[in-house]
Amino acid sequence: MGNVTTVLLCGVGGQGTILAADLLARVALAAGRDVKVSEIHGMAQRGGAVTTVVRVGSEVHSMVSDPGSANIVMAFETTEALRNLPQLAEGGALIVNNETIKPLPVLTGRASMPRNVRERLTEAGGQFIEASLIARQAGNPKCANVALLGALSATLDIPEDIWLEVIASRVPAKTIDANLAAFRGGREAMERGE
């Protein structure tokens, strides 16, 4: 629907898409929007391809994303970004964590990696974010999720204060500073168009 923003988070089971989606949803709720977060649990979490959908708006109905209807695709991994390109809406934003995890069929020599991934994603409008690097610079390599959220925040019309408040209230006390620094780092990288 016109007033609803659909965010598709995709990655590999265990990468933390569910936690990032949860923070995004709490931010949307704190900003007074309606929100739905749809997750997949169970077998796919054992290193399989996973997607989480967050839909934000004044009134959200469906909790899933159709091909061509994700206003933002945020990929935690480059191969999954390529896999989920059909989900991206025309004119939508594609944010890609610059990290590649080879699927098992590739590791065991039964399949090969796609070619020219970076070029193809760039052509589709993809912005690469060095989330792991930003997280390390922020002082905690585990904050890569939040660095990606920072990049995502630059594409959404929600005040930065709300993001910072929600993140500070949801992460372990010892990691608040690193998480907030990672968030700002991701946001700035997106705004600079790196």
Partner 1 sequence: MRALLSGNEAIAQGAWEAGCSIGVAYPGTPSTETMEAFAAKDGVYAEWCTNEKVAVEVGLGASAAGARVLATMKHVGVNVAADPLFTAAYTGVGGGYVVLAADDPGMYSSQNEQDSRYYAQAAKIPMLEPADSAEALAFARDAFALSEQFDVPFFLRSTVRISHTRTPVETGERANAPAKPYEKDASKWVMMPAFAKGRRKVQLERVRQLEEWVKTCPYNQAEQRSAEVGVICSGAVYQHVRDALPEASVLKLGVVWPLPARAMARFAQSVERCYVVEEGSTYLSEAVRAAGVESLSTPSPLPVDGELSPGLIRQAFDLPVAPHAAAAPDVPARPPALCPGCPHRLVFKELSRARAIVTGDIGCYTLGALPPLSAMDTCVDMGASVSMAHGMQLAFGDEDKRPIAAVIGDSTFGHSGLSSLVSTVYNQGSGVVCILDNRTTAMTGRQGNPFNGVTLQNRPSREMDLEAIVRAIGVDDVRTINPHDARAVRSALKEAFASDQLTVLIFRAPCVLLERIVNPPFEVTGTCTGCGACATLGCPAIARDNETGTASIDRALCIGCGQCAQYCGFGAIVSEGGR
Measured between alpha carbons, how far is 166 from 33 in angstroms, rounded to an integer? 14
Measured between alpha carbons, how far is 13 from 91 in angstroms, rounded to an integer? 28
**Of 15, 37, 38, residue with least CA distance to 25:** 37
- Residues that bind partner 1 (rule: CB under 8 A) add up to a total of 59
Q: Is 49 in the site for partner 1 (CB under 8 A)?
A: yes
CB of 50 to partner 1, least distance (A): 9
User: Closer CB to partner 1, residue 11 or residue 184?
Assistant: 11
Measured between alpha carbons, how far is 48 from 12 in angstroms, rounded to an integer? 6
Any alpha helices (H) in the chain, and if so which ranges?
Answer: 17-30, 78-83, 104-107, 117-123, 131-138, 144-153, 160-170, 176-192
CB of 125 to partner 1, least distance (A): 11
Of 107, 119, 159, 160, the one binding partner 1 (CB under 8 A) is 107
User: Closer CB to partner 1, residue 79 or residue 175?
Assistant: 79
Q: Is 139 in the site for partner 1 (CB under 8 A)?
A: no
Report helix, strand or coil for 31: coil
Contact positions vs partner 1 (CB under 8 A): 1, 12-13, 22, 25-26, 29, 34-49, 60-69, 79-80, 82-83, 85-90, 102-115, 120, 124
